[in-house]
Amino acid sequence: MKFTNYFLYIRQRPDRDKIKMEWIEETIKNPDFMEVQSDKRIRKWKKIREEGKFLRVILLPDGETVHNAFFDRRFKGGMK
């Protein structure tokens, strides 16, 4: 996986450090839901059973560089 400098910086926050890299990788490979933003960045969500929450991973338009990853409190699920 590739990462933006922003992701590497924000990953140091206490609320982000518990997000496992394997969860991020699984969200990228097998999302429960996906959409493309107007700026062409890609949003992918996956329910993380251990946490009971949806993880949102935002990729750059190249589809492989992780820009952000966080538990999305507002996302309740959707159609794939």
| Per-residue model confidence as pLDDT tens digits over 6-26 | 999 999 999 898 999 999 999
- Mapped onto helix, strand or coil, the DSSP state of residue 6 is helix
Whole-number Å distance between alpha carbons of 80 and 66: 21
Number of DSSP helices (H) and strands (E) in the chain, helices first: 2, 5
Residue 79 has pLDDT above 70, yes or no: no
Residue 61, by phi and psi: left (phi above 0), alpha (psi -120 to 50) or beta? Answer: alpha
Residue 80 has pLDDT above 50, yes or no: no
Which tens digit of pLDDT belongs to each residue from 27-50?
999 999 999 999 999 999 999 999
Banded pLDDT at 78 (limits 50, 70, 90): low
